[in-house]
Amino acid sequence: MSEKPDRESKTEEPTPKKLADAIEKGNTPFSRELTTFTTLAAILMACWAVVPGLSGKTTGMLAQVLANSRNWPLDTPSDVTNLLGYLLRGALWTLSPFFLLLILSAIAGSMVQNSPRMVLERIRPKLSRLSLSEGWNRLVGPQVLREFVKSIFKFSMAGIVCAVVFMSRDGIVLQSILTEAGRIPATALSLVLSLLSWIVLAVAILAAIDFLWGRRNWFVDQRMTRQEVKDEFKQSEGDPMVRMRIRSLARDRSRRRMIADVAGATLVVANPTHFAVAMRYKMEDGGAPRVVAKGQDLVALKIREVAEANGVPVFEDPPLARALYKAVDVDVEIPEEFYVPVANIVRLLYAKEQVR
């Protein structure tokens, strides 16, 4: 079994087809840190804009339950279940905007990187996934090391940010013990906002680095060997032998059509064996004589044979036949420099017909 080419042998830049095929197979650059950043940014936005309103609704719901405690007896297990169900439904309804914002932020973080598409290749069963060597490479490969280093960086940054924020606000934390209970949520929210702001900033830097590095690394992985470039060129342009065969068949068909047109020609100018040019001319149609067939050697002999079989007169004029063959293409009128010599032949032809 042939081994996959290593990175060192991939010296050629990936072609557009190579990149398109990789994307169609679901092999796209993706940064988890960018998704993490959008999620944390959504949490920060929610804490700033949504959480104050949510806390008010939650406080109002609990206050209503406590104020009407007689309507919520706790004598039986079903009473407890009813109360917990009411509180759970209220909490879910209250927190639904928060959860919706998180879901939308995660989707946005993915769509920013790649357009959504259905890729069945990713879920198709593959025997290579059962290979122990492939599984070990996935566990200890460079991708795992990269994720491990990022995890250490994230935890370290989170720890440093928490330590810096709490050290800078240690007075507020201690004073909250002596403040009224109603002011503690606002203090806690202010502390959380400050903490999240610094964490989002750190994750934003990490996400930008990971996004750019990931795309660059993906592009390098798509590089090709010289043999892969040649094979792709053959696939897109076709095998040279096949192309030669197709061109040969096309020439044969064109030659057969050309030989068939000789039967309707007006005259043939020929070098005895080397060149033959068949022309059609009708005085009532106007215009100059038009070349309907021409050939050299065997084709010239075939033109003469068909012409003689169909009663088309053949005039031997070696210089004129050679010049017409080189200067005029098939199905094209003769140029002006051939008007006089060809007109002389046409007059001779009409003269012979009148004699008959």
Q: State the average pLDDT over residues 89-96.
A: 74
In angstroms, the CA 262 to CA 265 distance is 5
CA dihedral of residues 164, 165, 168, 173 (deg, nearest 10): -130
CATH superfamily of 257-355: secretion proteins EscU (3.40.1690.10)
Model pTM greater than 0.75? no
Burial class (CB in 10 A: 0-12, 13-18, 19+), 298: exposed
Residue 2's pLDDT is what? 44
Model confidence band, residue 193 (pLDDT cutoffs 50, 70, 90): confident
Q: What is the pLDDT of residues 209-218, one digit of tens each?
A: 888 888 888 8
Model confidence band, residue 355 (pLDDT cutoffs 50, 70, 90): very low
Q: What is the pLDDT of residues 317-331, one digit of tens each?
A: 888 888 988 888 888
pLDDT of 117 strictly over 70 = no
Q: Which residue has the higher pLDDT, 258 or 122?
A: 258
Residue 1's pLDDT is what? 41
Residue 356's pLDDT is what? 47
Q: State the average pLDDT over residues 324-343.
A: 87
Q: Helix H segments across the chain? A: 16-24, 32-49, 51-67, 77-113, 132-140, 142-168, 170-178, 184-221, 226-237, 240-261, 298-309, 318-327, 339-355
Q: What is the pLDDT of residues 235-256, one digit of tens each?
A: 666 566 667 777 788 788 888 8
pLDDT of 58 strictly over 80 = no
In the chain, where the domains are located: 11-222, 257-355
Give the mean pLDDT of the chain. 76
